Amino acid sequence: MSANSITGTIQAIRTATGATSGIVLHEPTFAGNEWAYVKDTIDTGWVSSAGKYVNQFEEQLQEFTGARRAIAVANGTAALHVALLLAGVERDTEVVMPALTFAATAAAAAYIGAVPHFADSEYTTLGIDPDKLAAHLDSIAERRKDGTYNKTTGRRIAAIVPMHTFGHPVRMDELCALCEAWNIPLVEDAAESLGSYYKGKHTGLFGTLGTLSFNGNKTITTGGGGAILTDDVALADKAKHITTTAKLPHKWEYFHDMVGFNYRMPNLNAALGCAQIEQLPTLLAQKRVLAERYIKAFACVSGVQFVREPEHCVSNYWLNAIMLDKADMTLRNDMLEQTNAAGLMTRPVWTLMSRLPMYAAAPRMDLGVAQDIEARLINIPSGAGLAAGAPSEMAG
Protein backbone atom coordinates (compact mmCIF):
# COMPACT_ATOMS: atom_id res chain seq x y z
CA MET A 1 0.00 0.00 0.00
CA SER A 2 2.67 2.55 0.98
CA ALA A 3 5.05 1.42 -1.76
CA ASN A 4 2.10 1.66 -4.13
CA SER A 5 1.27 5.25 -3.23
CA ILE A 6 4.92 6.30 -3.64
CA THR A 7 5.47 4.72 -7.05
CA GLY A 8 1.99 5.89 -8.02
CA THR A 9 2.87 9.46 -7.03
CA ILE A 10 6.13 9.39 -8.97
CA GLN A 11 4.29 8.10 -12.02
CA ALA A 12 1.49 10.67 -11.68
CA ILE A 13 3.94 13.60 -11.46
CA ARG A 14 5.76 12.32 -14.55
CA THR A 15 2.53 11.83 -16.46
CA ALA A 16 1.11 15.24 -15.59
CA THR A 17 4.30 17.19 -16.28
CA GLY A 18 5.58 15.14 -19.20
CA ALA A 19 9.06 15.15 -17.65
CA THR A 20 10.88 12.32 -15.97
CA SER A 21 13.30 14.21 -13.69
CA GLY A 22 14.92 17.56 -12.99
CA ILE A 23 11.62 19.16 -12.02
CA VAL A 24 11.77 21.87 -9.35
CA LEU A 25 8.93 22.94 -7.05
CA HIS A 26 8.17 26.32 -8.59
CA GLU A 27 10.23 27.92 -11.32
CA PRO A 28 9.43 31.46 -12.52
CA THR A 29 8.36 31.93 -16.14
CA PHE A 30 9.84 34.89 -18.05
CA ALA A 31 8.13 34.87 -21.43
CA GLY A 32 7.22 38.50 -22.08
CA ASN A 33 8.74 41.97 -21.72
CA GLU A 34 10.81 41.17 -18.62
CA TRP A 35 14.21 41.79 -20.19
CA ALA A 36 13.06 44.89 -22.13
CA TYR A 37 11.65 46.64 -19.05
CA VAL A 38 14.51 45.69 -16.71
CA LYS A 39 17.04 46.79 -19.33
CA ASP A 40 15.17 50.10 -19.64
CA THR A 41 15.73 50.85 -15.94
CA ILE A 42 19.46 50.26 -16.40
CA ASP A 43 19.67 52.20 -19.69
CA THR A 44 17.92 55.20 -18.11
CA GLY A 45 19.61 54.91 -14.70
CA TRP A 46 16.27 54.71 -12.86
CA VAL A 47 16.89 51.54 -10.90
CA SER A 48 16.11 52.63 -7.35
CA SER A 49 13.64 54.68 -5.38
CA ALA A 50 12.14 56.71 -8.22
CA GLY A 51 11.00 55.87 -11.74
CA LYS A 52 7.86 55.12 -13.70
CA TYR A 53 7.58 51.38 -13.16
CA VAL A 54 6.53 51.52 -9.48
CA ASN A 55 3.45 53.62 -10.25
CA GLN A 56 2.70 51.56 -13.33
CA PHE A 57 2.96 48.28 -11.40
CA GLU A 58 0.66 49.63 -8.67
CA GLU A 59 -1.91 50.63 -11.31
CA GLN A 60 -1.70 47.21 -12.96
CA LEU A 61 -2.23 45.54 -9.59
CA GLN A 62 -5.28 47.72 -8.95
CA GLU A 63 -6.70 46.86 -12.33
CA PHE A 64 -6.09 43.14 -11.97
CA THR A 65 -7.35 42.70 -8.40
CA GLY A 66 -10.04 45.38 -8.33
CA ALA A 67 -8.45 46.98 -5.25
CA ARG A 68 -8.93 50.73 -5.06
CA ARG A 69 -5.29 51.14 -4.09
CA ALA A 70 -2.17 48.96 -4.26
CA ILE A 71 1.11 50.00 -2.63
CA ALA A 72 4.21 48.17 -3.86
CA VAL A 73 6.78 47.36 -1.15
CA ALA A 74 10.06 45.50 -0.66
CA ASN A 75 8.58 42.09 0.14
CA GLY A 76 5.46 40.35 1.41
CA THR A 77 6.67 40.28 5.00
CA ALA A 78 7.14 44.07 4.99
CA ALA A 79 3.65 44.42 3.49
CA LEU A 80 2.19 42.38 6.35
CA HIS A 81 4.18 44.29 8.97
CA VAL A 82 2.80 47.63 7.79
CA ALA A 83 -0.73 46.28 7.18
CA LEU A 84 -0.89 45.05 10.77
CA LEU A 85 0.37 48.40 12.10
CA LEU A 86 -2.24 50.28 10.07
CA ALA A 87 -4.99 47.91 11.24
CA GLY A 88 -4.18 48.94 14.82
CA VAL A 89 -1.99 46.08 16.01
CA GLU A 90 0.20 47.28 18.91
CA ARG A 91 2.72 45.85 21.34
CA ASP A 92 1.14 43.29 23.72
CA THR A 93 -1.94 42.72 21.62
CA GLU A 94 -2.82 39.38 19.99
CA VAL A 95 -3.14 38.57 16.30
CA VAL A 96 -5.26 35.53 15.41
CA MET A 97 -3.71 33.58 12.52
CA PRO A 98 -3.52 29.98 11.32
CA ALA A 99 -0.83 27.79 12.90
CA LEU A 100 -0.47 26.35 9.40
CA THR A 101 1.22 29.23 7.59
CA PHE A 102 4.61 30.45 6.41
CA ALA A 103 6.80 32.05 9.10
CA ALA A 104 6.23 35.58 7.72
CA THR A 105 2.65 35.80 9.04
CA ALA A 106 3.77 35.30 12.63
CA ALA A 107 7.00 37.30 12.22
CA ALA A 108 5.08 40.39 11.08
CA ALA A 109 3.07 40.34 14.33
CA ALA A 110 6.20 39.69 16.40
CA TYR A 111 8.01 42.69 14.81
CA ILE A 112 5.37 44.89 16.46
CA GLY A 113 5.71 43.14 19.80
CA ALA A 114 2.30 41.54 19.33
CA VAL A 115 1.67 37.88 20.08
CA PRO A 116 0.35 35.39 17.51
CA HIS A 117 -2.75 33.48 18.63
CA PHE A 118 -2.94 30.28 16.62
CA ALA A 119 -6.14 29.02 15.03
CA ASP A 120 -6.89 25.60 13.59
CA SER A 121 -7.37 24.85 9.89
CA GLU A 122 -10.03 22.91 8.02
CA TYR A 123 -9.49 20.19 5.42
CA THR A 124 -11.47 21.75 2.59
CA THR A 125 -9.54 25.05 2.41
CA LEU A 126 -6.38 24.26 4.46
CA GLY A 127 -6.99 27.69 6.05
CA ILE A 128 -8.66 28.97 9.25
CA ASP A 129 -11.80 27.05 10.23
CA PRO A 130 -14.31 29.88 10.89
CA ASP A 131 -16.73 27.64 12.85
CA LYS A 132 -14.04 26.38 15.18
CA LEU A 133 -12.67 29.91 15.61
CA ALA A 134 -16.18 31.18 16.42
CA ALA A 135 -16.55 28.57 19.18
CA HIS A 136 -13.06 29.40 20.49
CA LEU A 137 -13.79 33.14 20.64
CA ASP A 138 -17.08 32.42 22.42
CA SER A 139 -15.10 30.68 25.15
CA ILE A 140 -12.08 32.98 25.52
CA ALA A 141 -13.06 36.44 24.24
CA GLU A 142 -15.02 39.31 25.75
CA ARG A 143 -16.08 42.69 24.39
CA ARG A 144 -14.86 45.72 26.31
CA LYS A 145 -15.20 49.46 25.62
CA ASP A 146 -11.99 49.64 23.61
CA GLY A 147 -12.09 46.32 21.80
CA THR A 148 -12.28 42.56 22.10
CA TYR A 149 -10.04 40.97 24.73
CA ASN A 150 -8.70 37.51 25.40
CA LYS A 151 -10.02 36.94 28.94
CA THR A 152 -7.33 34.36 29.70
CA THR A 153 -4.33 36.55 28.82
CA GLY A 154 -5.83 40.02 29.32
CA ARG A 155 -4.55 41.13 25.91
CA ARG A 156 -6.61 42.84 23.23
CA ILE A 157 -7.27 40.80 20.08
CA ALA A 158 -6.18 43.38 17.52
CA ALA A 159 -6.62 41.53 14.22
CA ILE A 160 -7.61 38.28 12.56
CA VAL A 161 -5.29 37.28 9.70
CA PRO A 162 -6.49 34.45 7.46
CA MET A 163 -4.04 33.07 4.89
CA HIS A 164 -5.15 31.50 1.61
CA THR A 165 -2.97 28.41 1.66
CA PHE A 166 -1.34 27.56 -1.70
CA GLY A 167 -3.90 29.87 -3.31
CA HIS A 168 -7.04 28.12 -1.97
CA PRO A 169 -9.38 30.77 -0.55
CA VAL A 170 -10.64 30.54 3.04
CA ARG A 171 -14.43 30.70 3.75
CA MET A 172 -14.55 34.49 3.77
CA ASP A 173 -18.32 35.00 4.32
CA GLU A 174 -18.14 33.23 7.66
CA LEU A 175 -14.85 34.85 8.65
CA CYS A 176 -16.03 38.36 7.75
CA ALA A 177 -19.21 37.80 9.79
CA LEU A 178 -17.09 36.70 12.74
CA CYS A 179 -14.82 39.75 12.52
CA GLU A 180 -17.88 41.97 12.35
CA ALA A 181 -19.60 40.29 15.29
CA TRP A 182 -16.52 40.77 17.49
CA ASN A 183 -15.49 44.07 15.89
CA ILE A 184 -11.99 42.78 15.14
CA PRO A 185 -10.14 44.13 12.06
CA LEU A 186 -9.54 41.62 9.27
CA VAL A 187 -6.18 41.64 7.45
CA GLU A 188 -5.70 39.02 4.73
CA ASP A 189 -2.35 37.41 4.07
CA ALA A 190 -2.98 36.90 0.36
CA ALA A 191 0.73 36.33 -0.36
CA GLU A 192 -0.04 33.01 -2.06
CA SER A 193 -3.33 33.90 -3.72
CA LEU A 194 -2.80 36.47 -6.47
CA GLY A 195 -5.35 35.38 -9.08
CA SER A 196 -7.55 33.51 -6.54
CA TYR A 197 -11.18 34.50 -6.06
CA TYR A 198 -13.81 33.83 -3.41
CA LYS A 199 -17.33 34.11 -4.85
CA GLY A 200 -15.98 36.21 -7.70
CA LYS A 201 -14.05 38.71 -5.56
CA HIS A 202 -10.26 38.75 -5.53
CA THR A 203 -8.62 37.58 -2.32
CA GLY A 204 -7.02 40.32 -0.24
CA LEU A 205 -9.99 42.68 -0.63
CA PHE A 206 -12.29 41.39 2.11
CA GLY A 207 -10.73 43.09 5.12
CA THR A 208 -9.29 46.45 6.10
CA LEU A 209 -6.10 45.58 4.23
CA GLY A 210 -4.63 42.64 2.33
CA THR A 211 -1.08 41.77 1.33
CA LEU A 212 0.62 40.08 -1.63
CA SER A 213 4.12 38.66 -2.21
CA PHE A 214 6.18 38.62 -5.40
CA ASN A 215 9.02 36.50 -4.10
CA GLY A 216 10.83 34.36 -6.67
CA ASN A 217 8.67 31.29 -5.99
CA LYS A 218 5.28 33.03 -6.11
CA THR A 219 2.83 33.12 -9.05
CA ILE A 220 4.51 36.24 -10.43
CA THR A 221 7.81 37.63 -9.20
CA THR A 222 9.64 40.94 -8.91
CA GLY A 223 12.74 39.15 -7.60
CA GLY A 224 11.65 40.16 -4.13
CA GLY A 225 8.59 42.27 -3.53
CA GLY A 226 5.16 42.64 -2.06
CA ALA A 227 2.11 44.88 -2.04
CA ILE A 228 -0.54 46.19 0.30
CA LEU A 229 -4.10 46.23 -1.07
CA THR A 230 -6.87 48.39 0.36
CA ASP A 231 -10.09 50.15 -0.67
CA ASP A 232 -9.49 52.77 2.04
CA VAL A 233 -7.75 55.72 0.35
CA ALA A 234 -6.65 57.33 3.63
CA LEU A 235 -5.06 54.08 4.79
CA ALA A 236 -3.41 53.69 1.37
CA ASP A 237 -1.85 57.15 1.65
CA LYS A 238 -0.57 56.26 5.13
CA ALA A 239 0.82 52.97 3.81
CA LYS A 240 2.69 54.79 1.05
CA HIS A 241 4.04 57.38 3.50
CA ILE A 242 5.19 54.95 6.19
CA THR A 243 6.84 52.58 3.65
CA THR A 244 8.78 55.41 1.97
CA THR A 245 10.64 56.76 5.03
CA ALA A 246 7.79 59.12 6.02
CA LYS A 247 9.43 62.03 4.22
CA LEU A 248 7.27 65.03 3.46
CA PRO A 249 7.39 66.04 -0.22
CA HIS A 250 9.66 69.05 -0.80
CA LYS A 251 12.07 70.34 -3.46
CA TRP A 252 15.12 69.60 -1.26
CA GLU A 253 14.32 69.52 2.46
CA TYR A 254 14.66 66.23 4.33
CA PHE A 255 11.80 66.38 6.81
CA HIS A 256 10.30 63.14 8.15
CA ASP A 257 7.22 63.48 10.36
CA MET A 258 7.49 60.04 11.99
CA VAL A 259 9.74 56.98 12.13
CA GLY A 260 9.23 55.51 8.69
CA PHE A 261 10.37 52.32 7.03
CA ASN A 262 12.52 52.00 3.92
CA TYR A 263 10.16 49.36 2.54
CA ARG A 264 9.68 50.77 -0.95
CA MET A 265 9.93 48.55 -3.99
CA PRO A 266 12.88 49.61 -6.21
CA ASN A 267 12.04 50.62 -9.79
CA LEU A 268 14.26 47.77 -11.05
CA ASN A 269 12.05 45.23 -9.35
CA ALA A 270 8.84 47.00 -10.36
CA ALA A 271 9.95 46.82 -14.01
CA LEU A 272 10.08 43.03 -13.72
CA GLY A 273 6.65 43.13 -12.05
CA CYS A 274 5.13 45.17 -14.91
CA ALA A 275 6.24 42.53 -17.40
CA GLN A 276 5.17 39.64 -15.16
CA ILE A 277 1.67 40.96 -14.52
CA GLU A 278 1.13 41.26 -18.29
CA GLN A 279 1.73 37.51 -18.36
CA LEU A 280 -0.46 36.74 -15.32
CA PRO A 281 -3.62 35.58 -17.16
CA THR A 282 -1.50 33.20 -19.26
CA LEU A 283 0.36 31.89 -16.20
CA LEU A 284 -2.92 31.30 -14.35
CA ALA A 285 -4.37 29.42 -17.32
CA GLN A 286 -1.23 27.25 -17.52
CA LYS A 287 -1.35 26.53 -13.78
CA ARG A 288 -4.98 25.45 -14.15
CA VAL A 289 -4.07 23.12 -17.01
CA LEU A 290 -1.34 21.58 -14.84
CA ALA A 291 -3.74 21.15 -11.89
CA GLU A 292 -6.29 19.47 -14.16
CA ARG A 293 -3.62 17.08 -15.40
CA TYR A 294 -2.69 16.27 -11.81
CA ILE A 295 -6.37 15.65 -10.97
CA LYS A 296 -6.55 13.07 -13.78
CA ALA A 297 -3.16 11.55 -13.05
CA PHE A 298 -3.80 11.14 -9.31
CA ALA A 299 -7.37 9.83 -9.75
CA CYS A 300 -6.13 6.25 -9.81
CA VAL A 301 -3.25 6.54 -7.29
CA SER A 302 -4.19 4.77 -4.06
CA GLY A 303 -3.39 6.27 -0.67
CA VAL A 304 -3.19 9.93 -1.76
CA GLN A 305 -5.63 12.67 -2.76
CA PHE A 306 -4.82 15.70 -4.91
CA VAL A 307 -5.91 18.93 -3.15
CA ARG A 308 -8.57 20.73 -5.23
CA GLU A 309 -9.96 24.24 -5.08
CA PRO A 310 -12.75 24.76 -2.50
CA GLU A 311 -16.41 25.31 -3.43
CA HIS A 312 -17.38 28.82 -4.64
CA CYS A 313 -13.72 29.60 -5.30
CA VAL A 314 -11.28 29.99 -8.13
CA SER A 315 -7.83 28.99 -6.89
CA ASN A 316 -4.65 30.11 -8.62
CA TYR A 317 -3.20 26.65 -7.82
CA TRP A 318 0.01 28.40 -6.75
CA LEU A 319 1.46 25.28 -5.14
CA ASN A 320 -0.08 21.94 -5.94
CA ALA A 321 -0.42 19.54 -3.04
CA ILE A 322 -1.36 15.97 -2.25
CA MET A 323 -2.65 14.61 1.04
CA LEU A 324 -1.82 11.15 2.28
CA ASP A 325 -4.98 9.24 3.27
CA LYS A 326 -3.75 9.05 6.85
CA ALA A 327 -1.17 10.76 9.05
CA ASP A 328 1.89 8.56 8.73
CA MET A 329 5.24 10.33 9.22
CA THR A 330 7.20 7.30 8.01
CA LEU A 331 5.26 7.20 4.76
CA ARG A 332 5.47 10.98 4.41
CA ASN A 333 9.24 10.95 4.84
CA ASP A 334 9.67 7.97 2.48
CA MET A 335 7.54 9.81 -0.08
CA LEU A 336 9.73 12.93 0.24
CA GLU A 337 12.96 10.88 0.03
CA GLN A 338 11.94 8.86 -3.00
CA THR A 339 10.33 11.64 -5.05
CA ASN A 340 13.33 13.93 -4.51
CA ALA A 341 15.74 11.07 -5.28
CA ALA A 342 13.82 10.55 -8.54
CA GLY A 343 14.49 14.19 -9.51
CA LEU A 344 10.96 15.36 -8.71
CA MET A 345 11.16 18.14 -6.16
CA THR A 346 8.59 17.78 -3.39
CA ARG A 347 8.43 19.46 0.00
CA PRO A 348 6.51 19.01 3.26
CA VAL A 349 4.22 21.76 4.47
CA TRP A 350 5.71 24.28 6.93
CA THR A 351 6.32 23.19 10.51
CA LEU A 352 3.32 24.59 12.41
CA MET A 353 4.06 28.05 13.87
CA SER A 354 2.81 26.73 17.22
CA ARG A 355 5.79 24.33 17.33
CA LEU A 356 8.48 26.97 16.68
CA PRO A 357 10.54 27.89 19.79
CA MET A 358 9.81 31.63 19.66
CA TYR A 359 6.06 30.99 19.84
CA ALA A 360 6.16 28.25 22.50
CA ALA A 361 4.17 30.43 24.91
CA ALA A 362 1.79 31.87 22.31
CA PRO A 363 -1.93 31.25 22.93
CA ARG A 364 -3.68 28.73 20.69
CA MET A 365 -6.86 26.77 20.29
CA ASP A 366 -6.99 23.02 19.72
CA LEU A 367 -4.91 22.47 16.56
CA GLY A 368 -5.91 18.89 15.77
CA VAL A 369 -6.68 19.41 12.09
CA ALA A 370 -3.57 21.53 11.41
CA GLN A 371 -1.44 18.85 13.09
CA ASP A 372 -3.07 16.16 10.97
CA ILE A 373 -2.53 18.17 7.76
CA GLU A 374 1.10 18.79 8.76
CA ALA A 375 1.70 15.03 8.83
CA ARG A 376 -0.15 14.33 5.56
CA LEU A 377 0.53 17.14 3.11
CA ILE A 378 3.21 17.18 0.43
CA ASN A 379 3.73 19.90 -2.20
CA ILE A 380 4.50 18.73 -5.71
CA PRO A 381 6.00 20.57 -8.73
CA SER A 382 3.83 23.56 -9.70
CA GLY A 383 5.57 25.99 -12.06
CA ALA A 384 3.35 27.28 -14.88
CA GLY A 385 6.01 26.22 -17.39
CA LEU A 386 5.34 22.54 -16.57
CA ALA A 387 1.97 22.73 -18.34
CA ALA A 388 3.79 23.03 -21.66
CA GLY A 389 5.60 19.74 -21.15
CA ALA A 390 2.69 17.35 -20.71
CA PRO A 391 2.10 14.74 -23.39
CA SER A 392 -0.81 15.18 -25.73
CA GLU A 393 -2.87 12.26 -24.41
CA MET A 394 -3.17 14.18 -21.11
CA ALA A 395 -4.37 17.37 -22.82
CA GLY A 396 -7.92 18.65 -22.42
Ligand X SMILES: *Cc1c(COP(=O)(O)O)cnc(C)c1O
Among 5, 9, 196, 215, binds ligand X (CB under 6 A): 215
Closest CB to ligand X belongs to which residue?
76
Which of the residues 137 through 196 are near ligand X (CB under 6 A)? 163, 189, 191-192
- From the list 218, 238, 240, 287, the catalytic residue is 218
Among 101, 203, 230, 320, binds ligand X (CB under 6 A): 101
The Cα 88–Cα 333 span in angstroms is 42
Q: Is 199 a catalytic residue?
A: no
Q: Interface with ligand X by CB under 6 A: which range of 73-81, 124-132, 178-186, 271-279?
A: 73-81
Nearer to ligand X, 93 or 215 (CB): 215
* Contacts with ligand X, 221-260, as mask; x by CB under 6 A: -----x----------------------------------
CB of 217 to ligand X, least distance (A): 8
CB of 121 to ligand X, least distance (A): 13
76 binds ligand X (CB under 6 A): yes
CB of 383 to ligand X, least distance (A): 16
Size of the site for ligand X (CB under 6 A): 14
CB of 194 to ligand X, least distance (A): 11
Among 61, 104, 137, 209, binds ligand X (CB under 6 A): 104
CB of 165 to ligand X, least distance (A): 8
102 binds ligand X (CB under 6 A): yes
316 binds ligand X (CB under 6 A): no
CB of 353 to ligand X, least distance (A): 11
Nearer to ligand X, 226 or 303 (CB): 226
The residues annotated as belonging to the active site are: 218
Per CB under 6 A, residues contacting ligand X are: 75-77, 101-102, 104-105, 163, 189, 191-192, 213, 215, 226
